[in-house]
Structure 1
């Protein structure tokens, strides 16, 4: 799929902007009469917020072409302002352009729209209040609701909320930060290990429930998803990851007698390496969206797409752990 806006997207974008440039310092009318009575002259253009092609301004390599071509990634500008935003990428960042569009739509609703338009806009603003501290693209997805918006919203929320936590798990695994060691003596070492094992044994169960909650938040086939439920599920995943990091830190930053070190070694990253698989969710969803878009005009459009995350311990882990444990018990 090419990352260009289709005519329908351009027409809707122009109408939402009331054919005015969305730059709040400009707001020039972009449509007017033509010498031909059957035509109109337009100086307005649908500009990409994230660049359409590699090498263009504000290009994001991780974004799919289909998303680049969505109305969510568009802003209506006059030709001069379109050229302006591509002359200084630092000044006219994606955040600035998303803010321009939001401010412009607020201006259209309050200054040019009806009282009902103003009421609806105020209601929408109130509903979006809980997303004030999120990247602007999150609000834009919720407002525009492009095709597959449930998956796009989930991907953006997962990236924003959880990418730092997955990074911390990776840093912990690679030994890139330290904390004060917990010294456990030989009298308490076995009990400490059994407690950690008990913690780990119940930790994976919530992951299954969280994934089920997330998929349900997208709605049944043919039905829209629920913004607040998607938000709730992704926040719960964030809380879950924070708990996993606490457990992994307990295991990484402990000092036990030498004979117990093998058991501690086997416990390290056992749960962390499994939940790291959740980090693939945003990219899996983007793959699904691309697949759906590539087949949307085909008669054999798939009714259901499955993506499985398998949580399992490494090969022979249980055998190694039990052998090490038995050696201790027979001493």
Structure 2
């Protein structure tokens, strides 16, 4: 198990970046000074966890990994009094407040203690963060601090922030926890309506492979840094993809068709939604990748290549059952000119999306 406490290097880096001043904007006391021993100094500053390090500590988040708890992204430099203060009232001193303190303090240090270059770099950093102003503070800190494996940490947090509500909606939809107005389909339109949904379903399935390939490329080749804008762009595309999947699933669920078509429609329900839900595992996989990066166990100095697979697949039994239903509907209908739907199913049998992490 990884120790959630900060390393000495993280503490030293944090203190220096805070210029050894308390990051509480209402305090800013100097946290280091002379000691009676000429070879020592007196330090009253401490590296405080923003999200708690252990169960029972203030602002603790159960789903957070110990690795993330121990990162500099989760830290703030405070004097002992302010450290005690924030752990006395976690509701007043929320994580968002502490992230804001640190951001404000870094601006203060750059403008009051830094040189002109420091100020220019700080302003350039702020311009980069404009696109993330409405995102969770931890995302901004990852971009600023760039810990080892930041590309994967950023992707994981972006996907959680952007997509967790959508995965929750997919689950709510599957459980029948909300309603929408029904779309009424007449008997003479029902067969064609089902075929149109099949064509749409095939088109929805296709982008998954390309999206994950683009995400992998956005992290950069071995030895190269990732592309921040591309990571952000692809994660937003994944969000839009999931929104389209939900819209499709809602249309399949909230429809009123003649009784003889109900089974075919039922077979289409949650077909692509259940596959898209598999994308929710990506942040957890990336957390594991970061753990390996920050705690490497390389042999012969050869960097490992870690390969993960997400498989979109439809059981053979489903295809057989659906084709039988379509055949029965075609035989019992008056639509002799309807096109066969078999071709629409071929692309749905198995779609394999490869995610390859290289470092």
Q: TM-score range by the shorter chain?
A: over 0.9
- What does 1:64-103 align with in structure 2 at a 5 Å threshold? 64-103=65-104
Aligned match of 2:326: 325
- Cα 1:299/1:8, change in 2 over 3 Å: farther
After superposition, the C-alpha distances for 1:73-101 in whole angstroms (9 at most, x for unaligned) are: 11100000011110011111111111000
Aligned match of 1:303: 304
Tell me the secondary structure at the aligned position of residue 313 of structure 2. Answer: coil
| 80-89 or 312-321: bigger deviation | 312-321
| C-alpha contact 2:162 2:239 (8 A) present in aligned 1 | yes
- What does 1:65-214 align with in structure 2 at a 5 Å threshold? 65-214=66-215
Aligned match of 2:277: 276
After superposition, the C-alpha distances for 1:62-120 in whole angstroms (9 at most, x for unaligned) are: 11111111111111000000111100111111111110000000000011111111111
After superposition, the C-alpha distances for 1:206-241 in whole angstroms (9 at most, x for unaligned) are: 011111111111111121111111100100001111
How many angstroms apart in 2 are the aligned matches of 1:238 and 1:114? 41
Question: Displacement of 1:288 after TM fit?
Answer: 2.0
How many angstroms apart in 2 are the aligned matches of 1:297 and 1:198? 47
Aligned match of 2:353: none
Question: Displacement of 1:165 after TM fit?
Answer: 0.9
| C-alpha contact 1:23 1:100 (8 A) present in aligned 2 | yes
| C-alpha contact 2:298 2:304 (8 A) present in aligned 1 | no
Tell me the secondary structure at the aligned position of residue 223 of structure 1. Answer: coil
Aligned match of 1:56: 57
How many angstroms apart in 1 are the aligned matches of 2:302 and 2:6? 23
Aligned match of 2:13: 12
| C-alpha contact 1:64 1:290 (8 A) present in aligned 2 | no
Matched, 1:2 2:8: no
How many angstroms apart in 2 are the aligned matches of 1:45 and 1:121? 24
Question: Displacement of 1:300 after TM fit?
Answer: 6.9
After superposition, the C-alpha distances for 1:266-293 in whole angstroms (9 at most, x for unaligned) are: 0001111101101111111112222333
How many angstroms apart in 2 are the aligned matches of 1:102 and 1:298? 40
How many angstroms apart in 2 are the aligned matches of 1:307 and 1:261? 38
How many angstroms apart in 1 are the aligned matches of 2:139 and 2:164? 15
Aligned match of 2:335: none
Matched, 1:238 2:255: no
Normalising by structure 1, we get a TM-score of 0.97
Aligned match of 1:46: 47
Tell me the secondary structure at the aligned position of residue 91 of structure 1. Answer: coil
CA RMSD of aligned residues (A): 1.3
Tell me the secondary structure at the aligned position of residue 119 of structure 1. Answer: helix
How many angstroms apart in 2 are the aligned matches of 1:12 and 1:297? 26
How many angstroms apart in 1 are the aligned matches of 2:56 and 2:112? 38
Aligned match of 1:250: 251
- Cα 1:15/1:298, change in 2 over 3 Å: farther
5+ residue gaps, structure 1, are none
Matched, 1:316 2:317: yes
Give the paired residue count: 331
Tell me the secondary structure at the aligned position of residue 306 of structure 2. Answer: coil
How many angstroms apart in 2 are the aligned matches of 1:290 and 1:197? 41
How many angstroms apart in 2 are the aligned matches of 1:64 and 1:191? 50
| C-alpha contact 1:295 1:301 (8 A) present in aligned 2 | no
- Cα 1:296/1:49, change in 2 over 3 Å: farther
Higher strand share: 2
Question: Displacement of 1:326 after TM fit?
Answer: 0.8
Tell me the secondary structure at the aligned position of residue 141 of structure 2. Answer: helix
Tell me the secondary structure at the aligned position of residue 24 of structure 1. Answer: coil
How many angstroms apart in 2 are the aligned matches of 1:113 and 1:289? 32
